Amino acid sequence: MNRLPENPTCGEALVHLLAAYGVDTVFGIPGVHTVELYRGLPQTGIRHITPRHEQGAGFMADGYARASGKPGVCFVISGPGLTNILTAMGQAYADSVPMLVISSVNHSHQLGLGEGRLHELPDQSAMAAGVAAFSHTLLRPQELPQVLARAFSIFHSARPRPVHIEIPIDVITAPAGCLNLQAAALPPRPVVADAALAAAAARMQQAERPLLLLGGGCIDADPAAVRALAEAWDAPVCSTINSKGLFPAEHMLSLGANQSLPPVRALAAEADVVLAVGTELGETDYDVVFDGGFALTGDIIRIDLDAEQLHRNHRAAHALVGDAADAIRRLAALLTPQQRGGAARAAAVRAQLDAAWPPAWQTQAAALAAVRAVWPDVVMVGDSTQPVYSGNHLYAPGQVRSWFNASTGYGTLGYALPAAIGAKLARPERPVVALVGDGGLQFTLPELASAVEAGVGLVVLLWNNRGYGEIKRYMQAGGLPEIGVDIYTPDFQLLAAGFGCDYRRADDVAALRQAVAHSAADRPTVIEIRDPGFQAA
């Protein structure tokens, strides 16, 4: 399918090369500066999805990437197209998501002149570089194979992050006749050196109260190897939001993702050896209460693909650079299994957690359980809203790439709907739910039209408490005037109809199950829950 025309332009060579790297979908909004990127697209077989705002394109690419493990790719115009996608790049940057953003930029001999040309920015590339592994201005078609090889090498072999490539409008149309348009051989991920791993294993072997912390960098690990490692070490296991589903929640060593809660913190503080793999030890997973209370006093062994991460937040005693999946497998084999009372320590913590879940969280958990009862293999793509926060603690997916949201890292609103669309396009065989509040949904609501256009069947599970509930709560707790949080709430039923979507209201779990079971396969179904009022029984 991927046929290259004779005497291709740079734009045609680009899409051909993208297809060679396995790109099957591009999220983009064309403009006068980028139309030439589209000339060669039909010959590649790459599908084009058109969002209603470039931020939607970026979130779709992010959801596509998190659901599939493949980089999400976007085409945006110079200037406003690029500034519109920066928020989505920020979210992807914070959560180490592979994303390739290709934009146009003004004519190569007009760059930086400030002549007030259409879409001109003083330095577009510098702006993108702040939320990217790198931003490159392609000044000649000859640079194309090299710069794409750089981008895909990062996606494949390093800490994944967005990459931005901008192409001046004269370069997009320049002849690109004799370039090597084959995908470059991508390097394998580096692995931890034998001696370093053996030293870490020796320290682990002496541990009396071990603790294992798994981050999003681990999600390509073999779940059986993770279990083998935890069991051989007999260590309680904490996950982050982005590693949910890797270690079974029902396992007797599991502590879930509750590092901000006192019982887990107490256990962490008295651990004498902590193995932290593929985790930043960052605030949105370890300190959502923002009090700096996640303390580690034991020796920390850190494993990360990114050397820069090894001493951030908590300093490592053993700092190991390399692939998490490989290191987990090898460490499991190096350890001599030994009982350390891990299951009893974990059970005591779980009992304390279970005795203290707030009733509101349990109601929200019941809603998510109702969805799961209909769709056991659902992918839940969350925004930053009440059932997402509680689900970060209580929801337990059965596999990785099944629970991700924008309450982590950058923490932007408006993520869930477009990211869910991207996830469904990447994994059409899995049911997908966008879990979103009334505030967050209004950020990117027009993407309902993109989903209808693309024939994407998904559930938009709307948690409607008529306002910015989380911020209202903070204002109340701080004795502040409640300003800007009781927002006007539109009629979502009418809006859904206007976009050509189905709509159902669910006031209890039985109605929710029904609504999910009868949701449409080829367009979004908005299922509205009113809070307060939803009945968990």
Interface contacts to ligand TPP, rule CB under 6 A: 383-386, 411-413, 437-440, 463, 465, 467-471
> Kind of pairing, strands 210-214 and 273-277?
parallel
In terms of CB distance, is 325 or 413 closer to ligand TPP?
Answer: 413
Strand-pair category, 162-168 with 99-105: parallel
Of 134 and 389, the one with the shorter C-beta distance to Mg ion is 389
Put the strands of the sheet holding 502-505 in their side by side order.
403-405, 379-382, 432-437, 459-464, 525-530, 502-505
Least Å distance, CB 440 to Mg ion, is: 8
Smallest gap from residue 84 Cβ to ligand TPP (A): 13
The region of 25-33, 34-42, 231-239, 437-445 touching Mg ion under the rule CB under 5 A is 437-445
Residue 438 interacts with Mg ion (CB under 5 A): yes or no:
yes
Task: Report the partner that residue 411 touches, choosing among ligand TPP, Mg ion, none (CB closer than 5 to 8 A by kind).
Answer: ligand TPP
**Residue 158 to residues 96, 126, 305, 390, Cα–Cα distance (Å):** 10, 22, 6, 32
CB 111 within 8 A of CB 166: no
SS3 376: coil
CB nearer to Mg ion: give 405 or 465: 465
- Contact pattern from residue 452 through residue 471 relative to Mg ion, giving x for each residue in contact according to CB under 5 A and a dash for the rest: -------------x---x--
Decide whether 7 or 476 has the Cβ nearer to ligand TPP. Answer: 476
Q: Which DSSP letter does residue 303 get?
A: E
User: Is residue 414 close enough to count as binding Mg ion by CB under 5 A?
Assistant: no
Let me know: does 427 contact 67? Beta carbons within 8 Å: yes
Q: What is the 3-state secondary structure (H, E, C) of 306-347?
A: CHHHCCCCCCCCEEEECCHHHHHHHHHHHCCCCCCCHHHHHH
Nearer to ligand TPP, 233 or 468 (CB): 468
User: Kind and range of the H or E element at 72?
Assistant: strand 72-76
* Closer residue to Mg ion in complex, CB, 278/439: 439
Grouping H, G, I as helix, E, B as strand and the rest as coil, residue 136 is strand
Considering CB distances under 5 to 8 angstroms, the limit depending on partner class, which of ligand TPP, Mg ion, none binds residue 56?
none
Residue positions counted in the chain: 537
Find the part of the chain contacting Mg ion (CB under 5 A) among 3-11, 27-35, 200-208, 434-442. Answer: 434-442
Tell me which DSSP letter residue 133 carries.
S
Kindly state the smallest distance separating residue 529's Cβ from ligand TPP, in Å: 11
63, 51 contact by CB (below 8 A): no
CB 65 within 8 A of CB 18: no
Exactly one of 90, 439, 441, 454 binds Mg ion (CB under 5 A); that residue is 439
C-beta of 468: minimal distance to ligand TPP in Å? 4
Report, in Å, the least distance between residue 494 CB and ligand TPP.
18
* Minimum CB distance to ligand TPP smaller for 422 or for 437: 437
Q: Which of residues 507-536 bind Mg ion (CB under 5 A)?
A: none
Task: Give the C-alpha separation, 153 to 131, whole Å.
Answer: 18
Provide, for the chain, the percentages of residues in helix, strand and coil under a 3-state DSSP scheme, each rounded to the nearest 5.
40, 15, 40
Nearer to ligand TPP, 215 or 467 (CB): 467
- Least distance from C-beta 371 to Mg ion, angstroms? 19
Which residues are at the interface with Mg ion (CB under 5 A)? 437-439, 465, 469
